[in-house]
Amino acid sequence: MAKVHTKELIDKFQLELVSGEEGIHRTITTSDISRPGLEVAGYFTYYPAERIQLLGKTELTFISEMSAELRKERLAQLCTDETPGIIISRDLEVPNELLLASQASGVPIMRTKMTTTRLSSRLTNYLESRLAPMTAVHGVLVDIYGIGVLIKGDSGVGKSETALELVKRGHRLVADDSVEIRQQDEETLVGSPPELIQHLLEIRGLGIINVMTLFGAGAIRNYKKISLIIHLETWDSKKVYDRLGLDEETMRILETDVPILTLPVRPGRNLAVIIEVAAMNFRLKRMGMNAAQQFNDRLTDAISASDEEVF
């Protein structure tokens, strides 16, 4: 399971650490943010202690109107062993009772100048991205005309050489050999390279090359949404390959089905050009222009007209 440490939030959002320094390495396992209004009012039955707790002007104003004894009791209940941290928005003053509870439990208390709503939105987006389900696949990811194309196939089939030709043609490399894929939402997969091999491309017989150094910063991307998969396989004369493009196959990665095309590899075929055209054709299909379907409709109309002439 993916985890984020509280310290990462402090560094990312430049939060002021007010108290609880010993707890900054606590882990966050959910992207949900809690604004504990009901809990402050005394209802702790369903308190989501494992979430980041966000206290804004409304909660702190309500707390300030309590008696000192009640305030101490409620704020102590907010600070549990599971709580990864409590953030105060709008640079508001932190209640002394919360500081005491933090010192007793080790829960980090942080503060920011951001408004509560803005902070909640930014925190949620960041945590959803970092905690998204992730897998790694063997392949090459290239950005072709804005379409993220994942090139798969057996080792040695020519994936990296094809990617090199695509980069020379002005497209951008995202990852070679290993692609880390995160499920951002139900229909979105985002691929990125492992940090160790970022910007690198391995060509058999040549070795490892740095694409950014050779071709410039415009030849690489750090991440890209995966829209299409191209599977390269050695040409099999006994296999029947799709010649019209009417049948659309998909491959399931994590929880998302991605369209996949199988391209046979044999000497004389310019795979880079074919993949480039496949990306452009995929883009046209998303715009509602399907050449294979148009041909099929014309063929159906021609057969119907021929049958009418016979009868």
Q: How far is 117 from 87, CA to CA, in rounded Å?
A: 12
Residue 274 backbone phi and psi in degrees, to 5? -65, -45
Query: Which residue among 113, 130, 147 closes a domain?
Result: 130
Once rounded to an integer, what is the mean pLDDT over residues 281-295?
A: 81
**For the residues 70-94, what does the mean pLDDT come to?**
94
Same domain, 237 and 262: yes
Our separate counts of H helices and E strands in the chain read: 10, 19
Q: Which uninterrupted H or E stretch holds 95? A: none
Please tell me the pTM assigned to this model. 0.73
Contact 152, 59 (CB under 8 A): no
Hey, what are 252's tokens? 């399931």
**Which residue positions form the known binding site?**
153-160, 202
| Residues 121 and 141 placed together within one structural domain of the fold | no
**What's the average model confidence in pLDDT over 10-22?**
94
Look at residue 7 in the predicted model and tell me its pLDDT.
95
* Residue 243 annotated in active site: yes
Quick check: is 15 in a domain?
yes
What local confidence, expressed as pLDDT, does residue 266 receive? 83
User: In the predicted model, what is the mean pLDDT of the chain?
Assistant: 90
Q: Report whether pLDDT(242) > 80.
A: no
DSSP bridge partners of 140:
151
pLDDT band for position 52 (cuts 50, 70, 90): very high
Q: Which residues fall in the annotated binding site for ATP? A: 153-160
Q: pLDDT band at 267, cuts 50/70/90?
A: confident
pLDDT of residue 79: 94
Residues belonging to the binding site for Mg(2+) are 160, 202
pLDDT band, very low/low/confident/very high, at 307 (cuts 50, 70, 90): low
| Angle of CA points 181, 186, 189, to nearest 5° | 20
Q: Choose, from 239, 243, 252, 266, the residue flagged as catalytic.
A: 243
Taking residues 65-92, report their average pLDDT: 94
95, 11: one domain:
yes
Task: Give the pLDDT band (50/70/90) at residue 102.
Answer: very high
Same domain, 89 and 174: no
Q: Is 111 a catalytic residue?
A: no
Catalytic position from the list 177, 182, 224, 231: 177
Catalytic residue among 159, 171, 172, 221: 159
Beta-strand ranges (E) seen in 63-211 are 86-88, 109-111, 134-138, 140-144, 147-153, 172-175, 178-185, 188-192, 200-203, 207-210
Please pick, among 12, 118, 138, 286, the residue that the annotation labels catalytic. Answer: 138
pLDDT in tens, 31-42: 999 999 999 999
Same domain, 187 and 92: no
In a domain, 311, yes or no: no
* Same domain flag for 123 and 149: no
- In this prediction, residue 1 carries a pLDDT of 56
225 is known as an active-site residue? no
Would residue 177 show up in a list of annotated catalytic residues for this protein?
yes
* % pLDDT > 90, the chain: 71
CB proximity list for 62: less than 8 A, separation 6 or greater: 37, 40, 41
Of 217, 230, 224, which is closest to residue 276 (Cα–Cα)? 230
Could you give the number of structural domains in the chain?
A: 2
Which of 168-172, 225-229, 306-310 shows the lowest per-residue confidence on average (mean pLDDT)?
A: 306-310
Same domain, 92 and 189: no
When pLDDT is cut at 50, 70 and 90, the band that residue 291 belongs to is confident
Using a CB cutoff of 8 Å and minimum separation of 24, what contacts does 2-9 make?
2/29, 2/130, 2/131, 2/132, 2/133, 2/134, 3/27, 3/28, 3/29, 3/131, 4/28, 4/127, 4/130, 4/131, 6/84, 6/85, 6/108, 8/130, 9/52, 9/85, 9/110, 9/123, 9/126
pLDDT higher than threshold 60 for residue 2: yes
Domain containing 260 equals: 134-295
Question: In this predicted structure, what is the pLDDT of residue 222?
Answer: 94
DSSP state of 240: P
DSSP 158: S
Domain at 205, CATH number = 3.40.50.300
Rg of the Cα trace of the chain?
28
In the predicted model, what is the mean pLDDT of residues 208-216? 94
Alpha-carbon dihedral angle through residues 244, 291, 247, 276, given to the nearest 10 degrees = 90
| pLDDT-above-70 percentage for the chain | 96
